[in-house]
Amino acid sequence: MSLRGKTAIAGLGITKMGKNYAHSNALGFATEALELALADAGLLRSDLDGVLVNPGLTWGSDVMASYTLQQAMGIRNVRLTATTNLGGASAAALVMHAAMAIDAGMASTVACLFADAPLKPPRPNAKGTGGGAAYGFARGLDAAYGLYGANSGYAMVAQRHMHVYGTTSDQLGAIAVAERKWANLNPMAEFHREPLTIEDYRNSRWVAEPLHLYDCCLVSNGAVCVIVTSAERARDLKKPPVYILGMGQGHPGDDPVETLSSGAPMAKQTAFKMAGVELKDIDVVEFYDCYTITVLITLEDYGFCAKGEGGPFVADGRIGPGGSLPVNTGGGQLSAYYMWGMTPLSEGVIQIRGEGGARQVPKHDLCVVSGNGGVLWTHSTLVLGASA
Amino acid sequence: MAEIVRPIPEITPELRPFFEASKNGQLVVQKCNGCGALRFPPRRLCANCLSRESSWTPVSGEGEVYSFIIMHRVYHPAFATQVPYAVATIKLKEGVRMLSNVIGIDPHAIRCGMPVRVCFEKLNDEVNLPMFRPAADAA
Q: What is the percentage of chain A residues whose pLDDT exceeds 70? A: 96
Give yes or no for a contact between A378 and A87, defined as CB atoms under 8 angstroms apart.
yes
Number of Cβ within a 10 Å radius of residue A74 = 8
Q: What is the pLDDT of residues B76-89, one digit of tens each?
A: 888 999 999 999 99
CA distance B74 to A192: 30
Chain A residues touching residue B68 (CB < 8 angstroms): 156, 159
For residue A308, give how far its alpha carbon lies from the nearest alpha carbon of chain B (Å).
16
Residue A146's nearest CA partner among B109, B67, B102 is B102
| A375: chain B residues, CB-CB within 8 Å | none
As for how many domains chain B has, the answer is 1
Return the pLDDT at A127.
59
> For chain A, how many structural domains are there in total?
1
Report the alpha-carbon distance of residue A30 to residue A194 in Å, rounded: 28
Task: Give me the percent of chain B exceeding a pLDDT of 90.
Answer: 85
pLDDT at A123: 73
Provide the pLDDT confidence category of residue A1 given band limits of 50, 70 and 90: low
How large a percentage of chain B has pLDDT more than 70?
96
Q: Confirm whether B6 is domain-assigned.
A: no
- Residue A199, beta-bridge partner list: none
Using the CB atoms, write b or e for A174-188: b if 16+ within 10 Å: bbbbbbbbbbbbbeb
Cα–Cα distance measured from residue A144 to residue A219, given in angstroms and rounded to the nearest whole number: 26
The confidence band for B2, taking pLDDT boundaries of 50, 70 and 90, is very low
Interface check B100 vs A, CB under 8 A: yes
Chosen from A127, A135, A137, A141 to mutate, greatest number of chain B CBs within 10 A = A141
The pLDDT value given to residue B136? 84
For B76, the domain range is 16-134
For residue range A151-204, list pLDDT tens digits in order. Answer: 889 999 999 999 999 999 999 999 999 999 999 999 999 999 999 999 999 999
Closest Cα in chain B, distance from residue A159 (Å) = 6
Of B85, B89, B97, the CB nearest to A146: B85
> Stretch B95-108: mean pLDDT, rounded?
97
- Give the minimum alpha-carbon distance from A48 to chain B in angstroms, rounded to a whole number: 42
The chain-wide mean pLDDT, for chain A, equals 95
Is A24 part of a structural domain of the chain?
yes
Interface contact B8-A144, CB threshold 8 A: yes
Output the domain CATH number for residue A18: 3.40.47.10
Question: CB under 8 Å to B136, separation ≥6 — which residues?
Answer: B115
Residue numbers in B near A157 (CB within 8 A):
67
Torsion angle in degrees (nearest 10) through CA of B57, B61, B67, B69: 110
Containing structural domain, residue A92: 7-120+219-235
pLDDT per position as a tens digit, A117-129: 999 888 766 556 6
- Nearest Cα residue in chain A from B114: A163
Instruction: Please give the pLDDT value at position B1.
Output: 46
Residue A141 lies in a domain: no
Quick check: B120 contacting A, CB < 8 Å? Answer: no
In B31-50, the residues whose Cβ lies within 8 Å of chain A are 41
- A236-266: string of b/e by CB count within 10 Å (b at 16+)? ebebbbbbbbbbbbbbbeebbbeebbbbbbb
Instruction: Considering only the beta carbons, identify the residue of B10, B68, B87 that sits closest to A146.
Output: B87
Query: Does residue B44 fall inside a structural domain?
Result: yes
Of the candidates A288, A291, A302, A337, the residue annotated as catalytic is A288
Q: At what angle do helices A342-353 and A90-103 cross, to 10 degrees?
A: 60
pLDDT (average), residues A309-338: 97
Give the pLDDT confidence of A35-92 residue by residue, as tens digits. Answer: 999 999 999 999 999 999 999 999 988 889 999 999 999 999 999 999 999 999 999 9
Give the rounded percent of residues in chain A with a pLDDT score beyond 90: 92
> Are the beta carbons of B38 and B96 closer than 8 angstroms?
yes
What is the phi/psi pair of residue A207, to 5°? Answer: -95, -55
Stretch B2-7: mean pLDDT: 72
- Longest CA–CA span in chain A (Å) reads 61
Residues A208-246 have pLDDT tens digits of: 999 999 999 999 999 999 999 999 999 999 999 999 999
**pLDDT digit string, tens, across residues A14-38:** 999 999 999 999 999 999 999 999 9
Q: Using CB atoms, pick whichever of A145, A207, A210 lies closest to residue B87.
A: A145
Q: Does A386 map to a domain?
A: no
Per-residue pLDDT, averaged over A243-271, amounts to: 97
In a domain, B5, yes or no: no
pLDDT of residue A125: 62
Whether residue B101 lies inside any domain: the answer is yes
B70 and A144: CB-CB below 8 Å? no
**Cβ contacts of B8 on chain A, cutoff 8 Å:** 144
Whether residue A138 is predicted with pLDDT greater than 80 in this model: the reply is no
pLDDT of residue A149: 76
> What pLDDT was estimated at residue B29?
97
Contact B8 A155 (CB under 8 A): no
In a domain, A388, yes or no: no
Alpha-carbon dihedral sign for residues B70, B75, B79, B82: positive
Shortest Cα distance, chain A CAs vs residue B53, angstroms: 22
- Residue A304, CB-side half-sphere exposure with 13 Å CA sphere: 26
Across A118-122, A370-374, B19-23, B57-61, least confident range: A118-122
A288 is catalytic: yes
Q: Does B95 touch chain A (CB under 8 A)?
A: no
Residue A324 is given by DSSP the state S
Sign of CA dihedral A194, A195, A198, A200: negative
